[in-house]
Structure 1
Amino acid sequence: MTSGELVLRKAEKSDADEIFALAREFALTFRPERAPFDAAFPRLLENEDTLLIVATLDGVVRGYLLGFSHLTLFANGPVAWVEEAMIDSGYRRHGIGRRLLVEFETWARSRGAGYVAMATRRAAEFYGALKYEVAGTYYRKMCK
């Protein structure tokens, strides 16, 4: 990792190419395609219940986090869900993921979320170090 300053900020339209490249690295089950990405990206940027943040180093996007806040009935209000969190493979274990997640937690609290959650089979040690607990099993059924 270079010695430049790590900057966290909301994603911008000009970040699309770099975020798309990271999303393709992230995906195991799906292979992101550019046309659906380009259709979704501006909508995510405009959605007030969505936070899409990037971590840049020397002006280059090295990680991103996409998360949502939504109302629930069971939790007496909103909860926040991390949908995607990806760090460039050459920049992992340098605190970028931690900084992105802490920023998302701050945003979630500002929206009154009862908790932050995500579904993942990766990085259990990382999430455990940040005081996340295993809280359930993830089920899915493909729609297509």
Structure 2
Amino acid sequence: MAALFIGVAAVAISSPGYFRGVLTGEAGHANRCGEGSWQYKYAMIVRDVQPADLSAVAVLLGQLGYELDEQEVRGRLDRVRKASDHSVRVAVVDGKIVGLLHVFERPALEKPCEAVVQSLVVDAGLRGNGVGAALMQEAEAWARDRGLASVVLYTRTDRDAARAFYERIGYGLSATSHFMRRDL
């Protein structure tokens, strides 16, 4: 699968300005998008995760509070990458992985099939610069391409900044629940 490029042609990554009218598309086939209110501070590439990204993925998951060794991340990533109804994408700025998105299709009996954002994390040093918004646009495009009518996600109640971010990009509280688990 070709990489998706997000950025502005002929603008250096180190440019301090914000970009409008972002170009996206497969390599060699750029399309104009970003007609909404999004602004990106950096040119970035959003692409499928690769095995070589393992270390960066582990670091980003650690920033979410999930301290996992690389072997554990490798096993989880291998399993998710094999599932055809899952997508794992990374955002790359200046050759460095700065964001991670894991989205999957969830069929259900009691409601229409929907996309679920399982993980979204942006490197702490780049939060607030449009990387998360770009990754969420990726999740929404992935869902639309699969004919899904909605994207849902869960955010912990103590993650106020994350909740505010999701609200800013158009997500609203849909339900509250108790997450329950029984280890086997």
TM-score by shorter chain over 0.5: yes
- CA–CA separation in structure 2 for the residues paired with 1:31 and 1:5: 29
**1:70 equivalenced with 2:106 (yes/no):** yes
Contact in 2 for aligned 1:12/1:45 (Cα 8 Å)? no
Aligned residue runs from structure 1 range 39-118, under 5 A: 39-76=75-112, 78-118=113-153
**How far off its partner does 1:142 sit?**
3.2
SS in 2 for 1:72: coil
Q: 2-side partners of 1:34 and 1:110: how far apart?
A: 32
Q: What residue in structure 1 maps to residue 181 of structure 2? A: 142
Which moves more between the two structures, 56-65 or 120-129? 120-129
The answer (yes or no) to whether the contact 2:105–2:114 under 8 Å persists in 1 is yes
Q: Does 1:8 align with 2:43?
A: no
5+ long unaligned stretches in structure 2: 1-12, 16-41
Structure 2: which amino acid aligns with 1:18? A
In structure 1, what is the Cα distance between the partners aligned to 2:152 and 2:116?
A: 5
**Greater CA radius of gyration, 1 or 2?**
2
Where structure 1 has 5 or more consecutive residues not aligned to the other structure, the ranges are none
> What is the aligned-residue RMSD (CA, Å)?
1.7
Between 1 and 2, higher relative CO (CA 8 Å, sep ≥ 6) is seen in 1
TM-score under structure 1 length normalisation: 0.89
Cα offset, 1:57, TM superposition = 0.3
- Checking the alignment, whether the CA contact within 8 Å between 2:104 and 2:117 is kept in structure 1 is yes
As a proportion of its length, which structure holds more strand?
Answer: 1
Identity of aligned residues (%): 27
Query: CA 1:44–1:51 in structure 2 vs 1: closer, same or farther (change >3 Å)?
Result: same
Contact kept, 8 Å, 2:55 with 2:70, in 1: the verdict is no
- Matched residues, number: 141
- Residue 142 to residue 71, structure 1, CA distance change in 2 (3 Å): closer
51-60 or 36-45: bigger deviation: 36-45
The question of 1:20 aligning with 2:55 is answered: no
Q: How far, CA to CA, are the matches of 2:178 and 2:140 in structure 1?
A: 24
User: What TM-score do the two structures reach when normalised by structure 2?
Assistant: 0.71
- Taking a change above 3 Å as real, the CA distance of residues 45 and 2 of structure 1, as seen in their structure-2 partners, is farther
Structure 2 counterpart of 1:90, which letter?
A: G
